[in-house]
Amino acid sequence: MKNFKISKNMKDNVITYGIVIAAYVIMQILVSTGHVSSLMQGLLVPLCVYVILAVSLNLTVGILGELSLGHAGFMCVGAFAGAFFSKCMKNVITFGLIRFVLAILIGAVAAGIIGFLIGMPVLRLRGDYLAIVTLAFGEIIKSIINVLYIGKDSRGLHFSTKDSLSLGLEPEGDVIINGAQGITGTPKDSTFTIGIILIILTLIIVLNLIHSRDGRAIMSIRDNLIAAESIGINITKYKLMAFSISAALAGVAGVLYSHNLNSLMATPKNFGYNMSIMILVFVVLGGIGNIRGSIISAVVLTLLPELLRGLSNYRMLIYSVVLIVMMLFNWSPKLIDLRKRYSLKRLLKKNREVQ
């Protein structure tokens, strides 16, 4: 029985990795043979970003069982930390890949530390209360970044929270983070290949964590806090572990995001609570606790508004309707019953074919 369990996990994981690698290979072949439109090529990196975000949020929501609405805030920290580093080091480290890897590490560490700090007070709460407090923290992070001015000249770094004039820079000094105007001129280091590598790393971290001893402890907290406490599981430690790993991975996605665009601003659109909810939608649609589902739903929901461009002004309306229909189709109990009833025959046939 035990052996069977492990092999089932293995099989499950292999399918997940397989999907990612297959998608990568197919896309690479199509790109190299010139069958991919500019729109799709431009979407490849954002797809990787959203997949990483969805998988990492699933760690908090699905595995730890806590509703977090501040995920975009951690992404924001990672994005700005990474972009700040890259902009500072643009002329020092000229080899793009090394600079980018360092930026990713810095973004992950920064977001992880912020996740740890926020997690300490916040994870004492449960359920709705936690959701609301994380929502607030996400907004605080965004607001702080919007008033932050950092400049660099020969005397070093200058900080201000008023405006870029009060930095007192030398004439040749460079304003790196210009408050609400954010960072412009981030080198475009993100590529699809790096994005896929990061997705696979994220999957390795998350899937291994889930199936490890620590992961079991985390899931026991989700399933029954009191029972977990009673057998001596260190609740705070495991909660913080899951929360900060999830934050650090969101930071990685942020770095990938910021190095794909020339200008980075913390607007309500990209790092506000709307984005946090968007990521939560990916997770819920894909199935809470289902990592593979998160990947698929992140890809589908990111592609959908772009593929609907042909519908012009009705596009966002149709997008919302499709979202509702998909949610109902996937999770409405009545529809699940219906699907079971009507697909059984086909299912049996398929199984026979497979065998």
Partner 1 sequence: MKKFKKAVSLLAAAAMTATMLSACGGSDANQGADTQEAAGAETTESAGGTETSESTGASFKIGAIGPSTGGAAVYGIAVQNGADLAVKEINAAGGINGHQIEYNFQDDECDNEKSVNAYNTLKDWGMQMLVGTTTSGCCIAVAAESANDNLFQLTPSGSSVDILKDNDNVFQVCFTDPNQGVGAAQYIGTNAVAEKVAVIYDSSDVYSSGIYEKFAQEAANQPFEIVSAEAFTADNKTDFSVQLQKAKDAGAELIFLPIYYTEASLILTQANGMGYAPKFFGCDGLDGILNVKNFDTALAEGVMLLTPFAADAEDEATKSFVSAYQEAYGDTPNQFAADAYDAVYILKAALEKSGAAPDESVSDICEKLKGAMVEITVDGLTGEAMSWDSDGAVNKAPKAMEIVNGNYSLIQ
Query: What's the closest the beta carbon of residue 340 comes to partner 1, in angstroms?
Result: 7
Q: Which of residues 214-273 bind partner 1 (CB under 8 A)?
A: 257, 260-265, 267-270
In angstroms, the CA 117 to CA 126 distance is: 17
Contact string (CB under 8 A) for partner 1, positions 152-171, x = contact = -----------xxx------
Residue (80 or 238) nearer to partner 1, CB: 80
The C-alpha R_g of the chain, in whole angstroms, comes to 22
Binder among 6, 10, 22, 140 for partner 1 (CB under 8 A): 22
Work out whether 36 is an interface residue with partner 1 (CB under 8 A).
yes
Any residues with CB less than 8 A from the CB of 24 and at least 6 apart, and which?
192, 193, 196
Residue (41 or 234) nearer to partner 1, CB: 41
Token readout for 212 is 């490890």
Work out whether 303 is an interface residue with partner 1 (CB under 8 A).
yes
Q: Which stretch in 35-43, 98-106, 121-129, 195-203 sits in contact with partner 1 by CB under 8 A? A: 35-43
Q: Which of residues 170-209 bind partner 1 (CB under 8 A)?
A: 179-181, 184-185, 188
Residue (181 or 220) nearer to partner 1, CB: 181
Single out the residue of 87, 101, 102, 73 nearest to residue 150, CA to CA.
Answer: 87
Asked if residue 294 lies in contact with residue 283, where contact means CB atoms within 8 angstroms, the answer is yes
Side-chain-facing half-sphere of 286: CA atoms under 13 Å = 28
Query: What's the closest the beta carbon of residue 354 comes to partner 1, in angstroms?
Result: 9
Single out the residue of 67, 29, 65, 27 nearest to residue 44, CA to CA.
Answer: 27
Q: Which stretch in 82-90, 191-199, 208-216, 292-300 sits in contact with partner 1 by CB under 8 A? A: 292-300
Binder among 124, 126, 155, 340 for partner 1 (CB under 8 A): 340
Query: What's the closest the beta carbon of residue 164 comes to partner 1, in angstroms?
Result: 6
Query: What's the closest the beta carbon of residue 228 comes to partner 1, in angstroms?
Result: 26
Work out whether 312 is an interface residue with partner 1 (CB under 8 A).
yes
Q: Write the single-letter amino acid at 184.
A: T
Binder among 235, 288, 315, 322 for partner 1 (CB under 8 A): 315
Q: Give the Cβ contact number of residue 40 at 10 Å.
A: 16
Binder among 171, 172, 231, 309 for partner 1 (CB under 8 A): 309
Query: What's the closest the beta carbon of residue 329 comes to partner 1, in angstroms?
Result: 11
Binder among 7, 9, 94, 143 for partner 1 (CB under 8 A): 143
Query: What's the closest the beta carbon of residue 276 comes to partner 1, in angstroms?
Result: 15
Residues that bind partner 1 (CB under 8 A): 15, 19, 22-23, 26-27, 30, 35-43, 46, 143, 146-147, 163-165, 179-181, 184-185, 188, 257, 260-265, 267-270, 292-293, 296, 299-300, 303, 306-307, 309-310, 312-313, 315-316, 340, 347, 350-351
